[in-house]
Structure 1
């Protein structure tokens, strides 16, 4: 299997979907709490996807695929384990 930017080519899409779910999860969580992130999750996905060697067309297809359909319903990974408190603690730890 070929490697691109230290990702095997078959794994790049999977890694990208995980990134997208986390990015959109934080964007969704922030919006629910009255905050809006800049840059947007979509912008972050495009920048990261291109850095991973994915074309813009491929990024768009991945974001539109069945596995990514629930991006508007995603939550940050920490939310699943610690809820809002965990998210707020993570945010506050950055300041």
Structure 2
């Protein structure tokens, strides 16, 4: 859950920033504070729509459309995480202080 207030309490600060997933999460934390209207927002919205589509298809017991929408959602989430890792790389020193 992005931006969930308990995350900093439950999960300690990472030991380093070598892992791609760490940079993606840290990038998302920076990105959420600014909410720029950029490609990441569009990708996130599309992933959300694909997830909703998957849930509706699953509720209707339509396995193929549910699976296809899930694949699309996961692919879009990987693109989103890549964008967040890149955002972190570009902005990591700007918000410290």
TM-score w.r.t. the length of structure 2 is 0.35
Larger Rg: 2
Higher percent of residues as strand: 1
TM-score w.r.t. the length of structure 1 is 0.36
RCO higher in structure (CA 8 A, sep ≥6): 2
